[in-house]
Amino acid sequence: MELNQLADNQGARKTRIRVGRGCGSGKGKTCGRGVKGQTSRSGVAINGFEGGQMPIHRRLPKRGFTNIHRVEYQNVNVRDIQRVIESGKLDAKEAINTPELVAAGLLRSNAVKVKLLGNGELSGKVTIEVCKASASAVAKIEKAGGSVTQREVKA
């Protein structure tokens, strides 16, 4: 292939519509903008403008509050950990933490904060390191002979 043989794929470049070139073009005179009014003129397109009626974003009541300091946790249940141990994706003899949970497919990213919940049962002894754990999850893991370490989360 030579440089003079290079070309775009079919349909890669679309020619623009040339407006105002006579009524035979289909986009002559008003150029497809209709007659008069705000939308026919350039530079005036106010988002949310309803022709002088009170806009919907001002008619509807504002409620609630967004806490900017909220900490989001990714939940992992005891039954999920038991399931991945049984499938062989996790080794119960080693400490289970966020990177191991990501490798096992329970989490998508190392960046998430993990909370351990107590749904399900655990058959063997495991050591788990998470950011938070519910009281029922800690009780179930300690009943099976394991331990839970909770790391402090910096806001």
pTM: 0.58
Strand partners, 86: none
Residue 106: closest CA among 134, 78, 131, 133: 78
Rounded Cα–Cα distance for residues 135 and 117 (Å): 8
Residue 57, Cβ density class (10 Å: 0-12 exposed, 13-18 middle, ≥19 buried)? exposed
Q: Which residues contact 111 (CB under 8 A, 6 or more apart)?
A: none
Could you report the per-residue pLDDT of 24-60, keeping only the tens digit for each?
999 999 999 999 988 888 887 788 888 889 999 999 9
Q: Which fold has domain 73-150?
A: Ribosomal Protein L15; Chain: K; domain 2 (3.100.10)
Residue 81: closest CA among 97, 64, 65, 62: 97
